[in-house]
Amino acid sequence: MVDDGLSAGAVAKRLGIAVTTLRTWHQRYGLGPSRHVPGRHRRYTTDDLARLAIMQRLTAEGVTPAQAARWARVAPEEVLHDPAKASTVAQSSSRRGAPTPRARAGGGSTIPLGRVGPAARGLARAAMSLDSGSMRSILEQAIQADGVVSTWDNVMRPVLIGIGKRPGVTRHLVDVEHLLSGTTSEVLGAVPRPASTTPVRILLACADEEQHSLPLEALAAALAQVGVACRMLGARVPPAALVDSVARTGPAVVLLWSQADETADVGQLHMLLTGSGRPLLVLAGGPGWGTTSLPAEVVAPVSLSEAMRLAMAAAHSSDASS
């Protein structure tokens, strides 16, 4: 019974969210259990449950978690009894100083996003506010609900692209871009990796002088989420060092990432194809290779999901033949 107080597990089940999300909302935003029984863990009351339902509803509509939590904590009685009224009542109360949950269409007034979902809009607003806590919460919830691939395609990537499209980004939004990239990297890095005993058949690296490694981090996290191990060398890998790594580790698949035309040197691909320990499959990832004439043996995946599919298939084929 709610009147006797509910455990975190029971509340999570009622709301359809993870217990870890409840803990995050408690630790970061103060939306925790208020009923205390001596000698027992605190329990969630009816009002606690209602405030969490408000938090859940507003964040689903694209409100940043920090804004949604502020509103949930001060929500009037009528909203506690009917969380569906949260958005309407919050807007009408904004002139009295309460936080307004809805932002203008487009994910904030400064990052062009086009047609995206509420999570991407919320991430854009949090990025412009330099609110790393909200960014992290939005991304963690998205990955937990929809997986790394969907979160990258529908949440992370649209906002990163939107920042890049904004006029004057190199002068005015460097802080936003860096904080968003750093937070995204942290969240992707936190995705649990396969056990150390899992064979590593996939090698990921950026082309020489290429500094944009975030797409590779997304691919590594996506592979990890399905139990596939990989080795990532990161940004700016000199061709000779990459060839040496291939010779030492013998991967079945190597993906070389290039974000820009100037880093897409086809000679780096030829070195992989002719060097010692040539991999079964060489993938040229990223828009930098778009105008480059690739060797016939090289495949250029057009999406994160395709890169995963190709890499996993080649790695499995290598395992089967060994």
Matching residue, tokens 């990258």: 152
- Over the range 241-258, which residues count as b (16 or more CB within 10 Å of their CB) and which as e? ebbebbeeebbbbbbbbb
Q: pLDDT band for position 170 (50/70/90)?
A: very low
Farthest-apart Cα atoms in the chain, separation: 71
- CA angle, 170 then 171 then 172, to 5°: 105
Task: Check residue 204 and give its pLDDT.
Answer: 98
In the predicted structure, residue 264 carries a pLDDT above the cut 80: yes
Q: How far is CA 49 from the centre of its chain?
A: 27
Token pair of 194 as six digits: 């396969």
Structure tokens at 235: 């940004």
DSSP string, 98-143: PPP----TTTSSSS---S--HHHHHHHHHHHTT-HHHHHHHHHHHH
Mean of the per-residue pLDDT values for the chain? 83
CB of 111 within 8 A of CB of 158?
no
Three-state SS for 194? coil
As beta bridge partners, residue 82 has none
What distances in angstroms separate CA 118 from CA 20, 62, 103, 159, 168, one per listed residue? Answer: 21, 4, 11, 12, 26
Q: Return d(Cα 166, Cα 9) in angstroms, integer.
A: 43
Report pLDDT digits (tens) over 238-256: 999 999 999 999 999 999 9
> Per-residue pLDDT averaged across 214-235, rounded?
96
CA 57 from chain centre, in angstroms, equals 21
Confidence bin at 188 (pLDDT 50/70/90): very high
Q: What is the pLDDT of residues 99-154, one digit of tens each?
A: 444 433 333 346 788 888 889 988 998 888 888 888 999 999 999 999 999 999 99
Residue 34 near residue 76 (C-beta atoms within 8 A): no
pLDDT above 90: residue 17? no
User: Identity (one letter) of the amino acid at 292?
Assistant: T
193 burial class (0-12, 13-18, 19+ CB within 10 angstroms)? middle
Q: Decide the pairing of beta strands 200-206 and 229-234.
A: parallel
This prediction has a pTM of 0.67
Classify residue 185 by its DSSP letter. Answer: H
Residue 151, classed as helix, strand or coil, is helix
Query: 209's torsion region: left (phi>0), alpha (psi -120 to 50) or beta?
Result: left
What would the pLDDT profile of 277-295 be if each residue is shown by its tens digit? 899 999 999 999 986 789 9
- Give me the domains of the chain, ranges plus CATH numbers: 8-96 (1.10.1660.10), 118-189 (1.10.1240.10), 200-321 (3.40.50.280)
Highest-confidence segment of 10-24, 90-104, 210-224: 210-224
